[in-house]
Amino acid sequence: MSSWLVNLNSKFAEEFDIRFDGFIIKEEEKEEFLIKMNKIARKVVELTDLKLNEIDLFECKEIKEKCL
């Protein structure tokens, strides 16, 4: 079973000077994880003046080796 490396979108992280190392998640948890993280991002947008400019907030890369 493969795993996924999930990082904050690099352009977004650079624009707002966010240091984010990312997460490694199991393949079967990827969809649920991204849904939860996007809910958090929407709440941050609601509570601040932050504009996400219609970008994908996360970049995902498959890792073939079993990491978890």
Q: What is the pLDDT of residues 26-36, one digit of tens each?
A: 989 989 998 99
pTM of the prediction?
A: 0.68
Answer positive or negative: Cα dihedral of 33, 53, 15, 11: positive
The predicted pLDDT at position 55 comes to: 65
Residue ranges of domains in the chain: 3-63
Residue 21: Cβ-neighbour burial (10 angstroms; 0-12, 13-18, 19+): exposed
Report the alpha-carbon distance of residue 12 to residue 44 in Å, rounded. 14
Please give the chain's pLDDT, 68 residues, in tens: 689 999 888 877 887 788 877 889 998 998 999 899 888 888 877 887 777 666 678 888 999 876 65
